[in-house]
Structure formats: C-alpha cells, structure tokens
Structure 1
C-alpha cells in the first residue's frame, strides 16, 4: 500500500488520528518497542487501567493492556490479545510489548530481533510503525525497511514537515501552529467583552448560571459540549477558566484503607460531628505534616524524594494515623491512572464575573500556557507540598439512612503551578 491507501484504510477502520514512529533495530519483539523517555505517550493512547507488576532489573514496573489490532496489507484486521504498555517510572520510560502473541496476522517477520549481520546492514535504515488511534482501540501497521512509504515518510520527517508528538512519534495531520491558533481565538473572545453565562447542550447554546459557569461558558465559545471525555478541548490544548489563588488538579477516590472498607467508621474515627445527623472530614493535608484536626499524616510510601523516583510499585500516597494505621490511600497505580487522563498542554484563561440581573463573564487578558505535565513533576510536587490534599467529605442522616458526599481533591496554589510543568508562559491578550 502507498501512504494514501494506508491512511484511508486506517480512517475507514475508525482511526481519529494517525501517528507514526521510526523503528530502530532495538524496536523488536525481544527488546520491545521504545515509546519514549517520558510517560506522555500514555496520555495519547487509549489503554486499560494501569496496575503494578512488581520489580525488575529496571526497577518498579507498571503495565496497562491495550486493545490493539494489526492491519494487514489488504486492509483486514486481527486482534493482538497480548498487547500492552510497560511503564518504567525509574527512567521514566514506556515500552510496547506482547504485540505478536496470539495474532496470526501480525507482521512477525518485520518485528524479530536482528542478527549481527542484519543489525549492521540496517544501521541506517528503519521501518515505520503506524498507529491509528480510535476512541477505544489502536490499529497498527508496519512497513518494510525498503518500502517506498518508508522512504517517503523518512524524507518528510527529515524535512521537518511532520509535527513531533509525545517525544518519539510524528503526526500525519498537516503541521499546524496550534499555539497561535489558540491565542488568536482567545484574543477574539477577550475583545468581545462580557459574555452571558452559558453552555452547549444538544448542540445548542443555553443559559447557565450555576457556580461553575465560567468553564462551561469558555468551552461554549470554542464550540465544545461538556462530555467528561478525557481529551484536549481545542486541538491539543486543555482549556481551564481560572480565577483566584487555587487550582484543582485531580479528584481521585482512594483505593486503599479504612475509607474504602467503611466510610462511616472512617468519618467517626478521623472526622468530626456537627450534630447527631452529620459527619465531616474536610481539612488540608500536606505531605509529612500531621494534620491537627484529623490527626492524620500524609506520607509517600515507596518514593525516593532525592532521586524523584518510585522505588516500590506497591507503595503510594497514604494517610496514616499515629499508630501507622492506613486511614485512606492512593496507590501509585491509581495516581498514574488518574494522571494519564490529564493533558500535556493546558491553557489557563483568567476571567472576571459580573452580575447585573444575570451572570456575565469577561475572559482575559491574562493567559498562562503550561506545557509538559510530567509524572515526575507531579510526584515531586506532592512530596514538596506544592500539591496538597483538600477533601470535602460528609455523611448526612436522611430518613434513618446515612447518605455520603465525597470530594477528594488535590490542589495547588496558583503561584506553585510552575512546579508541575516543564514550561510555563504568561501572556496578556491585549498586548499580542
């Protein structure tokens, strides 16, 4: 197949995006396929839940299954049931393995480890791995070292015609300057002045005056319908309307501890009671400090702060009491799983709220572009207290039954946001 045929087939099979990687000699079934020296790729590829897989000579290991299909040259597909991602947080590094197991149609002849002679002969050659990314699966295709498609894509990559994605991939979509597109759109929104609080529902803009109206209003101006799907809001940028001194980063539920076993017992033991019909747990917890109200300390088990590395894959972020009992906790698997839904590039848009009978918002002029949300940055920020736990949990007695409300938030101060990203740029829309 030529390049157009490969792309057309992948799109017809449901691909919403196509990315490619130049495969080196070491990208094979024995040494696995290298997917980058960061965890950014797991934010790009749909995968199963991340889970701990013990220790290896490379340190802690986490894995995530993939619903992965190989496409044959005649456009047919077959599931590769053993396909998975392997995450090595020590480096960090992600590899792709199990992609041949149980799949007769897999390109096994192209993915074998080379002999010494072949390694020398192919020193300056590579194959091209295509990944067609669908909503819930991935479709792969590999070219031969001497395929015309291989040479064509190598020429495009060498000429800088394709955009780099997740450190080792290239996008086959036309190369665009998404940063400029985003800012131009925001400049128009800022110049438009006050906008009534609104949201999009069923494709139509409708009034909306709840407390969280700023975010919905901003999304509506970009034509975005709220859907809860973890994908960028505008091209490859996540949009966040921002006002105030605090930013909420994640809201993951604990996956270990008394909290999980019996919430009422957890609240009675570590929370407090306003009256006989309500129990509460709401107080900021920072790493390595005992909270005076709950008497709990937030600790990171299995983490080396000096090297900024996970040392025990079965560790995590734990709330413990003075006797070492685990009140609640988030395993590293849980943290990684929640983090992968975040986006590498976020645009924080300042806003002001105006009430004159109805609610209106003015967006800008301040904009903060944050890029490179690495997992190492996040874990380090948790340990250094730049990110903290700020829960709001309660149970109320209603008709003789306890009804719970859960809000497990991890937040950071606006001034500390830079610790979470590799690059942060502050701009004024009225100066661009």
Structure 2
C-alpha cells in the first residue's frame, strides 16, 4: 500500500506531520462504512473542519435524496472545497487531491468528506469499498494536518500499534466535536510570534512598509499601523486571504472600533448596477459625489440610508449547516422590500475564513514624527505597539451570525460614486465592531489577554 502508515506510537505521526510543516491536526477513527463511496461523516455542522482549514463554499448539483420526504428533492447541495489538500505517500511525497471537499447535507443535517482521489488517479487503498469489505476489523484513522493558513496535509493510518490507538483515544476532542480528536504538532508558531511581537513592542518606529522586493519604504496612509507592524515582523503586505504570519491574522488597531472584514455584496442592485444603487440610495455629499453611509445593524432601520439590514432564511440559534441550502443571505432592504445589496452565505463564509481562526489584536498608537532625518526621508508618523495583546482562537459560522443578530457586528459602508470621474469611485463594505475587547467573546471560543514580554521571559 503506497499511502498507508502504521505508527506504533503517536510521536511517530507527530514527527511525520511536523516534517511537512503542520502545526496541528484532526484525527478521526474510521468505521467500516467510511470509504470513498459512502463518504466520511464529519459532523452535524461545519465544525471543526471549517474554519480550521481553508475551503471555498459554493453550490453544486441538485439533491436526489428522498430522506425525510420529498422536501430535499431538487435543492442545491452546498459544498466546501479544500483549496489545497495533499496526501503524504509512503515515500514522503505530497500528492494533491483532485477535489477533496466537505459536502453539506442540510436535510439531516450533516457534513461528509469526499473527493480523495489524487491528480495521479490514486488514493489510499484502505479508503476503498473493497478494502473495508475484506478487512472490516482493521483500525483506520484519517489525519488532517493544518499547515500555514489552512492547507491540508493528509495522512492515512491503517493497522497501527495498540499504543498509538490508546494515545489517540486519550487526546482531547476537537472543539464542538465528538468524533474528531485534536493534536498539537511541531513548533509552536504562536510562541514564535509572541517572541517577535515582544521585540517590536514599546519602542517608537517610523511608519513604513515592505515592497514586493522586501525593500523598506516610508508609509503615511491611514493603514500606517498595520503596515508598520508587518514591516517590523518582516511580512510583505498582501491582499489575499491568507493569514499574516503562518496562518495567524494580525490586526493592529488604534481604537476600540475595528473593521473585521470587507466582503463586497454579491446580490441585489449593488452587485447588478453599482451606479444605479448609489443614485437610488445614496446622497449627494457635494456636487457630483454620491455617498452611502450609516451604521446598519440587523433588524434596525438606518435613518441615514433608509435601509434595513436583515438575515434572510435563517432562524437565530439554528445550525447554519441545516439552512445552507435555503438561500441564506444578509441583505440591505428598502422600505418596499427590495434587496438593495446582499451578501450570500457563501460570500460571508469565504471571507470569514481559516485565517480568522487564530487572530491577534495589537493595540497601536501613532504620533507626528519630529525627527528631522526621518522627516527628510519621508516619514510623517512614529508608531508604537503595546506589549499587551488580545489572542483569539477558534471561531465558527454560528458565532459570526450570532454577532450579527446581537448587533455586535454591524455594517458601516463607505462607498463613493462620482458619475463624471469614475476613477474616484470607491466600493467599501466595512463590517465592524464598536469594542473589539468585548466583541471578541462573541466571535471566538478562546480569548486571552497576553503580556508579551512576560511570556517571552518565561
């Protein structure tokens, strides 16, 4: 068998995963009906696979299931495709899977994993129907290691030693799961980041950023604190969906109000015709410039825009997975019930992604630069970072939506439309919280205040 491993002890698996850069892993003991045909049961909801791993949510073909009557016939079945999923074979090669995915069966509800075949048309033999029929009593484990910002490094364990089985059984369950075990692997990336942040803390530095060639440049824009923090940590700025530091999201903030993410609408008039949206619902801030602003919380009509933010096709407290095939969306509706702008469930979940599963909020301050040499070099600001940060672990779709229902998370848009000069147009959908220290407890399972330099000295 070219993919299977048979470790006698758990530390053998840890060494394998660590050698491939994994920082943590989920381990699932498999039953005899868990194979490539029947798929592998994961959970009743998205946890713990999402948002621990980087996936893309979408809709696929209509269901043909008659489970629980005909209500599910013809409905679209949501799925979440892993953006990068590689098997480790017995030689240590990483072989990408063709389309590994988590399929969401909302009618049950449950999520299952499938699509394990590699780009070389191979897969672990022990996941085949024939193998499970011929060897129903052989112990098997599916191991999903997390690398970077949510890549999957997968290992198939078959017929391991008794000690290995006992050590896996003793591992803690993954948060919110009865079937997945959670394993910490390799070097502690969080501890490494703590040490680096300690070195940055409590010393004024000029506002700057790194360019694509890692050259240091002065930076004086509104994001000076964020760019300067990345600069001091050696991070080249980027606008993709990966975490800033090996899968950890960094948020430098000067005030309690924080923008969490900025997904643009993919529904409604805004998505269909931005100009018409702005002329219909915006106001003329000055001649030739239309804007739309105002705080929009779920259920409250915003007097400034005349629009009401609503969560549609979902009941508060209900499983998101159970409603995933019901066109769940968050929308701005006018008084006539027309959808002005909307965010599909897929759009929101794809943006509230694996990079948010571990986030560090760093308090910063900025002041005018008074050093003549730095001013001459183009630096207008000096930035300083606190040695006390807020470290947040584990979020979920349900926590994101509960924050919306509670009004903790709100929309604070700032689009601009200039008919005579489209180069000045700006699209900006800011999803914010008023006080991140308080809001974090709604959004994350584990929130800790960390004194960096005290931790680094231990």
Q: Where does 1:299-318 land on structure 2 (aligned, <5 Å)?
A: 299-307=310-318, 309=320, 311=323, 313-318=326-331
CA contact (8 A) 2:14 2:186 kept: no
Of 223, 226, 248 in structure 1, the residue corresponding to residue 234 of structure 2 is: 223
CA contact (8 A) 2:359 2:392 kept: yes
Partner in structure 2 of residue 174 of structure 1: 186
Q: Where does 1:256-405 land on structure 2 (aligned, <5 Å)?
A: 256-307=267-318, 309=320, 311=323, 313-357=326-370, 358-398=380-420, 404-405=425-426
| Partner SS, residue 347 of structure 1 | strand
Which segments of 5 or more consecutive residues in structure 1 lack a partner in the other structure?
none
Aligned mates of 1:83, 1:138 — CA distance in 2: 10
CA contact (8 A) 1:20 1:129 kept: yes
TM-score by length of 1: 0.80
CA contact (8 A) 1:39 1:94 kept: no
Equivalences, count: 420
Q: Where does 1:36-185 land on structure 2 (aligned, <5 Å)?
A: 38-51=46-59, 61-66=77-82, 73=90, 81=98, 83-87=100-104, 94-100=111-117, 104-112=121-129, 121-122=137-138, 125-129=139-143, 140-146=154-160, 154=165, 157=168, 168=180, 173-176=185-188, 178-185=189-196
CA RMSD of aligned residues (A): 4.1
Aligned mates of 1:276, 1:101 — CA distance in 2: 58
Aligned mates of 2:423, 2:273 — CA distance in 1: 12
CA contact (8 A) 1:319 1:328 kept: yes
| Partner SS, residue 210 of structure 2 | strand
Aligned mates of 1:350, 1:101 — CA distance in 2: 44
| Partner SS, residue 360 of structure 1 | strand
Structure 1 residues 287, 165: closer, same or farther in 2, change over 3 A? closer
More deviation in 132-141 or 96-105?
132-141
Aligned mates of 2:94, 2:243 — CA distance in 1: 28
More deviation in 339-348 or 25-34?
25-34
- For residues 36-73 of structure 1, what are the alpha-carbon distances to aligned partners after superposition, in whole Å with 9 as ceiling and x for unaligned? 66445344544444337678759995202346565655
Structure 1 residues 163, 351: closer, same or farther in 2, change over 3 A? farther
Aligned mates of 1:163, 1:308 — CA distance in 2: 20
Aligned mates of 1:215, 1:278 — CA distance in 2: 29
Which structure carries more relative contact order (alpha carbon 8 Å, separation 6+)? 2
Is 2:45 the partner of 1:24? no
TM-score by length of 2: 0.76
More deviation in 324-333 or 270-279?
270-279
Of 181, 204, 225 in structure 2, the residue corresponding to residue 214 of structure 1 is: 225
Aligned mates of 2:441, 2:303 — CA distance in 1: 29
